[in-house]
């Protein structure tokens, strides 16, 4: 059971043949396609995606392994102007990830263009003397030629499409070229260190993001209350609670005669079964927790608090 998510690191394998390893942080504004890019690099879905801004709330690590080296890519929340405590924690996580990386991948939306916020991040990177690459994403949808942003070094700029895979191999090579020699931190078959319970909660939240109205997504959190595998039946039982902030949001998620909550369960179960490799029984509940995004204790319980 479980194809990619061991809960502990194995003993590190040291090599003396020029093997590269290290961390690469994906940073940028919300909705530039960082999570889609991570999934494209790994050729497997480990980060949820949606057209809603601020979908990514925590640091999501994806492990790319080849004969040349191992890159631990860190998908970060979009850097934005926070409006609540959760938003402040999200931005803080993203900025910490910049400082912890061997290479920083600054992603921007080629369709939206290069703006002041990207320029500010670039200046921070330059002052840090950290290796970085500027990545123009979504070039597959561009109707005109993508041009180099003013002040960006051409040798530190790549155009990619996370959707089609265009330029992704070049990005991987760029990062590997700049990593130090080091150990293989994770087994080669491992693509994320996210616990299976966390992945399950995220796939449930992704279904909510795609299926509900605009007033709901930002107010939703998911907590897995039970996660149990029956080897004889090859069945994983998952019971989870979807938290919202208002009664009106609860009604939307449940839907008329429970139609919406059933659809959320059906859609998310498909994704969870793919990642676990087992059949899944999924039991979802919806509860109201007013102003949970501004309540530090609740954020801590949900794994979204300061320092988490």
Q: What confidence score (pLDDT) does residue 224 get?
A: 97
Query: What pLDDT, on the 0 to 100 scale, is given for residue 4?
Result: 42
**How far is the C-alpha of 125 from the C-alpha of 219, rounded, in Å?**
32
Determine the pLDDT at residue 80: 79
Q: Quick check: 213 and 260 in contact, CB under 8 A?
A: no
The angle formed by the CA atoms of residues 239, 242 and 244, to the nearest 5 degrees, is 165
CATH number of the domain at 196-301, please? 3.30.300.20
Residue-wise pLDDT tens for the chain (308 aa)? 333 433 333 345 545 578 999 999 999 999 999 999 999 999 999 999 988 888 999 889 999 999 999 999 999 988 877 778 988 888 888 888 788 899 999 999 999 999 998 999 999 888 888 899 999 999 998 877 888 998 899 999 999 999 999 999 999 999 999 999 999 999 999 999 999 999 999 999 999 999 997 778 789 999 999 999 999 999 999 999 999 999 999 999 999 999 999 999 999 999 999 999 999 999 999 999 999 999 999 989 888 887 66
pTM above 0.85, yes or no: yes
What's the confidence (pLDDT) of residue 10?
A: 39
Q: Taking the CB of residue 189, how many other CB atoms lie within 10 A of it?
A: 10
Q: What span, in angstroms and rounded, lies between the C-alpha atoms of 97 and 116?
A: 21
Burial 120-146 (b: 16+ CB within 10 A, else e): ebbebbeeeebbbbbbbbbbeeeeeee
Boundaries of every domain in the chain: 20-178, 196-301
Taking the C-alpha atoms of residue 284 and residue 5, their distance in angstroms, rounded to an integer, is 23
Q: What is the pLDDT of residue 100?
A: 84
**pLDDT (0 to 100) of residue 37:** 97
The superfamily CATH assigns to domain 20-178 is P-loop containing nucleotide triphosphate hydrolases (3.40.50.300)
Q: Which of 157, 189, 174, 219 is nearest to 22 (CA)?
A: 174
Q: How far apart are CA 279 and CA 272, in angstroms?
A: 9
């Amino acid at each position: 059971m479980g194809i990619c998510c061991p809960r502990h690191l194995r003993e590190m394998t040291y090599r003396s043949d020029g093997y590269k390893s290290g961390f690469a942080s994906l940073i940028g504004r919300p909705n530039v396609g960082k999570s889609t890019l991570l999934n494209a690099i790994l050729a497997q879905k480990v980060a949820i995606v949606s057209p809603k801004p601020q979908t990514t709330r925590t640091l999501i690590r994806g492990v790319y392994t080849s004969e040349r080296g191992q890159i631990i890519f860190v998908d970060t929340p979009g850097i934005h102007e926070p409006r609540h405590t959760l938003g402040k924690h999200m931005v803080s996580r993203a900025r910490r990830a910049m400082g912890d990386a061997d290479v920083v991948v600054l992603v921007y939306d080629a369709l939206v263009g290069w703006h002041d916020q990207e320029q500010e991040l670039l200046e921070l990177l330059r002052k840090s003397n950290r290796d970085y690459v500027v990545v123009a994403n979504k070039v597959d949808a561009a109707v005109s030629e993508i041009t180099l942003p003013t002040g960006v070094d051409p040798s530190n700029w790549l155009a990619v499409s996370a959707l089609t895979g265009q330029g992704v191999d070049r990005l991987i090579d760029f990062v590997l070229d700049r990593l130090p020699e080091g150990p293989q931190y994770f087994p080669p078959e491992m693509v994320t260190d996210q616990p299976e319970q966390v992945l399950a909660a995220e796939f449930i939240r992704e279904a909510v993001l795609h299926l509900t109205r605009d007033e709901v997504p930002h107010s939703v959190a998911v907590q897995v209350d039970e996660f149990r595998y029956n080897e004889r039946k090859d069945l994983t039982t998952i019971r989870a609670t979807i938290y919202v902030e208002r009664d009106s949001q609860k009604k939307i998620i449940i839907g008329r005669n429970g139609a919406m909550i059933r659809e959320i369960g059906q859609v998310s179960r498909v994704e969870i079964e793919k990642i676990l490799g087992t059949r899944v029984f999924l039991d979802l509940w919806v509860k109201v927790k007013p102003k949970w995004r501004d309540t530090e204790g609740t954020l801590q319980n949900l794994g979204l608090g300061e320092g988490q």
